[in-house]
Amino acid sequence: MLVLSSLFEKKKLSVYLVPIINFFLKILFDFKKTIILLLRTIQYYLL
């Protein structure tokens, strides 16, 4: 019974965690693109 309830808790937790993780991944991805753009711009101005 305890195992079942802990599984349920984990499932509940994952329901909240998945969107948060997706959100952070999206931010990271966007951040990476931004950094690449910035680097290109800096490179362009330096050349």
- Domains identified in the chain, total number: 1
| CA of residue 5 relative to chain centroid, distance | 28
Percent of the chain with pLDDT over 70: 91
pLDDT surpassing 70 at residue 30: yes
Q: Is residue 29 scored above 80 in pLDDT?
A: yes
What is the Cα–Cα distance from 27 to 13, expressed in whole angstroms?
21
Whether the pLDDT of residue 25 is over 90: the answer is yes
| Position 1 pLDDT exceeds 60 | no
> By residue range, what is the domain housing residue 21?
1-47
Average pLDDT, the chain: 85
Q: Look at residue 11 in the predicted model and tell me its pLDDT.
A: 78
Confidence at residue 15, expressed as pLDDT on a 0 to 100 scale: 82
The stretches of the chain forming alpha helices (DSSP H) are: 2-46
